[in-house]
Structure 1
Amino acid sequence: MVVICPGLVLGPSLTTGSDSGSLFLLDELFSGQLWFGVPDLSFCTVDVREIATAHIRAAETKSAQGRYIVCDREMVRFVDISKQIRPQAKRRWALPRHKLPNILIRVVGPLFGLTQKWMRANLGVRFEVGNERGIKELGIVYRPLSETLDDHYKSWLAQKARQ
């Protein structure tokens, strides 16, 4: 049995919508609803095309077994996602340049359904991910995050133009 465990899946979309909470957060970012700043959150990211490759290779590789964590080794900060997209954004001013203080997030977070337990466990947390098995055993090659984010943003713009 093989289990593919992805991080936050980004990249070009094949569909017009998603119910994913993480993609909803990026929609808020790109549409300018978070112009005032973003929480100090970090994400383990992966391109949707690497996830597809991982599934295909896991199915084709007889020796594949167990869990494969499929995402970039280093987490990316939410504010850095914004900074990456900012230069190509139509409304640059609407994309935040800074993170909000954790104390502010802890005070207003419950108004948005965030629990203190969740905020303690996630605000400011960063770590490295052990993705070596997928690289070594499945031959996964991760494209640069900048490429993934650019493709994700272009896909988002195209979807908005169709709506």
Structure 2
Amino acid sequence: MADKGELVLVTGGTGFIGLYCILQCLAAGYHVRTTIRSLKRRKDVKEMLKEGEVTNIDRLTFVEADLSKDDGWKEAVEGCTYVLHVASPFPPAPPKHEDDLIIPAREGTLRVLSLARDAGVKRVVITSSFGAIGYGHTKKIDVFNEQIWSDPNGPNLSAYLKSKTIAERAAWDFMEKEGGAMELSTVLPVGVFGPVLGPDFSISIQIVQRLLNGSFPGAPDLNFGVVDVRDVADLHLRAMTDPKAKGERFLAVSPPTMTILEMAQVLRERMGKAARKTPTRTLPTFVLRLMAIFDKTVALILPELGDRKVMSNEKATGVLGWQPRSKVDSLIATAESLIKYDLV
């Protein structure tokens, strides 16, 4: 690919979406700088990118930076034409206090925007989440799209969902008051699946991992939006360069949604013996309620049991020409890659 001569900063280079954004930026001919919390992980990132068949890794550089600190961020944005702000704190368990998640997400986002503006960055694309659209509502919503915002003060919002909503709101408020000539777009993925490149992957991947290894005694009655990580990265690049993306939000989903039982059925039909441990029936709600007494992670999903959300990707497909692959292809690619890297 010809050298475009433009530098893109991708924050969170060890993350699942961040890795694929780096891959696709390099493939498109950009130079890429990425932030990682420790430079000791440079080798890990390069190895995973090689698994993704990167051929021009010499165009990739690293900066050590953490969302909770100022160090490194000024250096990170210097000379960049675009910034893909993908990094966001996502703890393996609920934090002791929600501010432990909300403050780093909001302040980290504002720090990146402020320094990017000062450095003359043309456009920033922030990875938000469907969590900033689909939660905290007291009235039924027929179809979820980009015009809708989660209510951080509404019922049943986890600290993570609040953090994504508050951070994206803060970003748009900043742009309105202090953004100057810089432009902003946001991408809001649902559950992100697709081929892993190593042990760093999204929390959504654990669903397929647990279905394959038999961790689910039955399928919780949960309904998910599904999108492939390769398509999420593609949408980031479209939002980064298309003039029509300026000032817009884009929901990244391949509708309709799927239940965990439907995911299990897809795996059994397509993966044969590798999926022999997947559940064949829905787990009764009363069992999950009992489990939730002892497991805070299980308690978080209780409000979602039986909820069927309808989501639209018409804006991304209509405005930017985005065409996500099928959910089945994404789930099978997820399963095959987990088996390839011996992660099940």
- 2:212 touches 2:274 (CA, 8 Å); kept in 1? no
Taking only aligned residues, the RMSD between alpha carbons, in angstroms, comes to 2.0
Instruction: Show the counterpart of 1:49.
Output: 230
The amino acid of 1:153's aligned partner reads A
TM-score normalised by L of structure 1: 0.87
How many Å separate the matches in 2 of 1:157 and 1:19?
Answer: 14
Map 1:18-37 → 2, pairs under 5 A:
18=200, 20-34=202-216, 36-37=217-218
Aligned to 2:101: none
Higher gyration radius (CA): 2
1:60 to 219, 241, 256: 241
Cα distance in 2 for residues equivalent to 1:7 and 1:24: 14
Which residue of structure 2 lines up, in the alignment, with residue 12 of structure 1? 195
Q: Secondary structure at the match of 1:160?
A: coil
Amino acid at match of 1:149: L
> SS of 1:156's equivalent?
helix
Unaligned runs of 5+ in 2: 1-183
Relative contact order (C-alpha < 8 Å, sep 6+): which is higher?
A: 1
Change (3 A) 1:150 1:38: same
Q: Check whether the contact 2:251–2:312 (CA below 8 A) recurs between aligned residues.
A: yes
Post-superposition Cα deviations, 1:77-116, rounded to whole Å, max 9, x if no partner, equal: 0011011001324244311111111122112123222465
Letter of the 1:75 counterpart = T
Task: Identify the match of residue 290 of structure 2 among 103, 107, 118.
Answer: 107
Question: For 1:92 and 1:115, how far apart are their aligned partners in 2?
Answer: 24
CA distance in 1, matches of 2:275, 2:331: 16
Match of 1:78 among 226, 246, 260: 260
2:288, 2:302 within 8 Å by CA — same for their partners in 1? no
Query: Does 86-95 or 58-67 show the bigger shift?
Result: 86-95
> What is residue 333 of structure 2 aligned with on the other side?
151
Relative to structure 1, the CA distance from residue 158 to residue 54 in structure 2 (aligned partners, 3 Å threshold; closer, same or farther) is: same
Query: 1:106 touches 1:119 (CA, 8 Å); kept in 2?
Result: no
Change beyond 3 A, Cα 1:49–1:30: same
Deviations 1:45-86 (A, max 9, x none): 101111111011111201213210011232100011011001
CA offsets 1:7-30 (integer angstroms, 9 cap, x no match): 1111112x3113643322321111
Where does the alignment leave 5 or more consecutive residues of structure 1 unmatched? none
Scaled by the length of structure 2, the TM-score of the pair is 0.43
Q: How far apart are residue 159 of structure 1 and its match?
A: 1.0
Aligned-pair identity in percent equals 25
2:308 is paired with a residue of what secondary structure? coil
